[in-house]
Amino acid sequence: MNIILLGPPGAGKGTQAAKLEAERGMVQLSTGDMLRAAVKAATPVGLQAKAVMETGGLVSDEIVTGIISERLDQPDVAKGFILDGFPRTEAQAASLDTLLTEKNMKLDHVIELEVDEAILADRVTGRFTCAKCGTGYHDRYKLPVVPDVCDVCGSTEFKRRADDNAETVRARMAEYHAKTAPILPYYEAKGLVARVDGMADIAHVSEAIEAILDKR
Ligand code: AP5
Ligand code: MG
């Protein structure tokens, strides 16, 4: 099963993709995570992407499509993949179709996480992750059980994303409305879109997604 998780910054794409990975063995393909890794490693792609990401803009279609194409060639994607943060423009959606045809793969669902925009800035600016294992937390909605100790690996080091400040979040939201939301009709025409209430708590959002995946 291959799916796209679509939704604005803070909608819960990464949270739900990680759950699907843990519970169904699917593979999360997050272009945001891949680009952040490239920035950290100061690769040529990372050097180009850094400034764009810090202002909340979109990295070029060529770069992200190239990254996804390479990732789709790795054997683990045969377990089923979750595209998280890709495609994000009409050009990326068209390129994805070409790639999938070339690689003899297909999409089963495009799941849109519907959220009330007023709460998104709060979700994003309150977010932090374990610096060692990457488990996600939130200042109010999901704190570690033992304060300042990761529930999963016991690390006491946490980090926040450079683009998780109020100003950049506004820019990311604007990009979502201008360039990403318009790709929904493309997938609606293919009969692939299902919508989930992303305002429900994390477990309920997860149940709703599982129900869509299990319907087939
Ligand atoms: P990316 O990393 O994809 O960021 P984003 O789309 O802005 O989305 P986020 O990761 O902020 O949100 P999310 O939906 O994953 O929410 P999460 O699960 O963490 O992209 C970053 C940048 O990279 C872009 O701005 C761009 O520059 C570049 N880029 C990436 N892909 C690109 C592409 N294809 N083309 C061009 N450029 C690209 O949840 C957020 C918080 O809320 C967490 O703390 C979580 O615990 C909490 N939470 C989640 N669900 C719930 C819930 N149901 N109830 C309560 N709290 C919840
Ligand atoms: Mg994410």
Residues in the chain: 216
Residue 48 neighbours by CB under 8 Å, 6+ apart: 59, 60, 63
The rounded Å distance from CA 195 to ligand 2 centre is 18
The rounded Å distance from CA 11 to ligand 2 centre is 8
The rounded Å distance from CA 63 to ligand 1 centre is 19
32 in contact with ligand 1, CB cutoff 6 A: yes
Collapsing DSSP to helix, strand or coil, 18 comes out as helix
Ligand nearest the Cα atom of residue 35: 1
In ligand 1, the atom with minimum distance to the C-alpha of 84 is 3
Helix axes 31-40, 44-55, angle to 10 degrees: 120
144 in contact with ligand 1, CB cutoff 6 A: no
The rounded Å distance from CA 14 to ligand 1 centre is 6
What is the overall mean pLDDT for the chain?
96
Per-residue model confidence as pLDDT tens digits over 156-183: 999 999 999 999 999 999 999 999 999 9
Region 95-106: mean pLDDT is 98
In this structure, the residue with its CA closest to atom 49 of ligand 1 is: 12
Ligand nearest the Cα atom of residue 163: 1
Q: What is the per-residue pLDDT for 216? A: 56
Q: Give yes or no for residue 105 having a pLDDT over 90.
A: yes
Per-residue model confidence as pLDDT tens digits over 16-66: 999 999 999 999 999 999 999 999 999 999 999 999 999 999 999 999 999
Give the pair of three-digit tokens for residue 92.
Answer: 């990326």
Kindly indicate the confidence band of residue 215, based on its pLDDT and cuts at 50, 70 and 90.
Answer: confident
In ligand 1, the atom with minimum distance to the C-alpha of 199 is 53
Q: Give yes or no for residue 189 having a pLDDT over 70.
A: yes
Which residues are designated catalytic? 13, 88, 127, 161, 172
In ligand 1, the atom with minimum distance to the C-alpha of 86 is 34
37 in contact with ligand 1, CB cutoff 6 A: no
User: Does residue 84 contact residue 30 with C-beta atoms inside 8 Å?
Assistant: yes
